[in-house]
Every structure is written in C-alpha cells, then in structure tokens.
Amino acid sequence: MQLYESDFYAWTQQQAALLRAGQWDQLDIANLVEEIEALGRQERRELLHRLGILVGHLLKWQLQPHLRGKSWRATITEQRRQIQRLLRDNPSLKPDLSAALQEAYQDGILLVVRETPLSEADLPAQCPYTFEQVMDPDFYPGKEDPP
C-alpha cells in the first residue's frame, strides 16, 4: 500500500520535502496531479457555496419582507465579502461567474425551501438577479427597509 493511501498527511509532507529538495524523479506525479486538480475544484465549490447562501438570503429578503432583520443583512454582507476575497485570490474564476450564479441558484432555492414556508413553486425557475446585482452592497431586492 502506498503512503498516499495509508497516511495522506505524511504523503503531503514527503512530497513537499521532495519538491524542496528538487528530487523530481521520486515524486508521486499521478497523485500530485490529482490533488492539485482537486484544490482547483475546491475553490470553485467554495464560490458556488457562498453564492448559494447569498442568493438564498436575497430571495428571503425579497419574498419575506416582514421577517427582514440584521441577521439576514449580516449574512448577505458576509457572503459578499467572502466572494470578493475568493475572486481576488482566484481571478481565473471570474469568466465563469454568470454560469456559477445560475448553478448556485439551485442551492439558494434549497436554502429558502428549508428555512421558510415557501416551496420551490413559489420561486423563479431562473435566478432573477445578475452577478453584478448580488455583489452590489446597495442591492437588496424589494428594498423598503434600507440596510
């Protein structure tokens, strides 16, 4: 059994030491490639996760104005900040933002269905907001109660 399979942490330390020492012929190339690709996918999943939470809270804000409060505003603000940081650190995610928003919208719908009496049928089939809107610090749909 390879170290990669039996002790992942030890494998990462070994690979890092081999890289530092320039011992290229001893590297576990196949598994290094797999792990590097997984790191990239993880960044995209993080973007989708945060967009889903953000869109879900924007929908709740719009569709349940009587329940608006500082907790929802704080969540919206936090997700916007975290998405900005993620995009600053990973600018190659930017060309895919419209598609990512549409994909994350499905998670936003699930959040709304889980946390409110609303059902999927009560929500638009497609995300009603643009990426620019969801990231605009002044955008709160149906904003009668300014943040």
Mean pLDDT per 10-residue interval, the chain, length 147 residues: 89 95 96 92 95 97 94 97 96 93 96 95 95 96 66
Residue 27: phi, psi to the nearest 5?
-70, 150
For 63-69, which contacts have Cβ atoms below 8 Å and span 24 or more sequence positions? Answer: 63/112, 63/116, 63/118, 63/122, 63/123, 64/116, 64/118, 65/142, 65/144, 65/145, 68/145
CB burial string 84-96: b at 16+ within 10 A, e below: eebbeeeeebeee
Determine contact, residues 16/45, Cβ cutoff 8 Å.
no
Give how far the C-alpha of residue 140 lies from the chain's centroid of Cα atoms, to the nearest Å.
20
Note the pTM of the prediction, 2 decimals.
0.83
Question: What interhelical angle do 29-63 and 97-115 show, nearest 10?
Answer: 60
DSSP-derived secondary structure letter, 40: H
Rg from Cα positions in the chain: 20
pLDDT of residue 96: 87
The whole-number pLDDT of residue 144 equals 60
33 burial (CB, 10 Å; 0-12 / 13-18 / 19+) is: exposed
